């Protein structure tokens, strides 16, 4: 995954604690990453600086989707727990 802008130390702990209590913003279903899903994720990310996404796919496909999503929305993966991933804008 993208290691360039990975948060460290206190910032990472703060982001993870915020991610734990955040409800799921976007659910990705059978159709996968469509243009509208990516636009919705970007909207939430720009508004809240964090977005929590739930995936329906199995693990290998889910990892592929997460990497693709991370590159397309230009964000950093904060936390990956089960079928849920949280992304954040890191400056």
Domain limits, the chain:
9-88
d(CA 44, CA 39): 9
pLDDT tens digits along 3-40: 555 667 888 888 888 889 999 999 998 888 999 999 99
pTM for the complete prediction?
0.84
pLDDT tens digits along 27-81: 998 888 999 999 999 999 999 999 999 999 899 999 999 999 988 998 899 999 9
Closest of 53, 57, 29 to residue 42, by C-alpha: 53
**pLDDT for residue 91:** 56
At the topology level, CATH places domain 9-88 in Translation Initiation Factor IF3 (3.30.110)
d(CA 26, CA 83): 12
Which secondary-structure segment (H or E) carries 72? helix 59-73
């Amino acid at each position: 995954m993208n290691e360039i802008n990975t948060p460290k130390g206190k910032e990472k702990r703060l982001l993870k604690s915020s991610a734990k209590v955040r409800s799921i913003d976007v659910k990705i279903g059978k159709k996968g990453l469509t243009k509208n899903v990516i636009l919705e994720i970007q909207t939430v990310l720009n508004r809240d600086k964090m977005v929590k996404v739930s995936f329906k796919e199995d693990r290998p496909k889910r990892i592929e989707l997460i990497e693709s999503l991370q590159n397309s929305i230009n964000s950093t993966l904060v936390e990956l727990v089960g079928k849920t991933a949280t992304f954040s804008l890191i400056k």
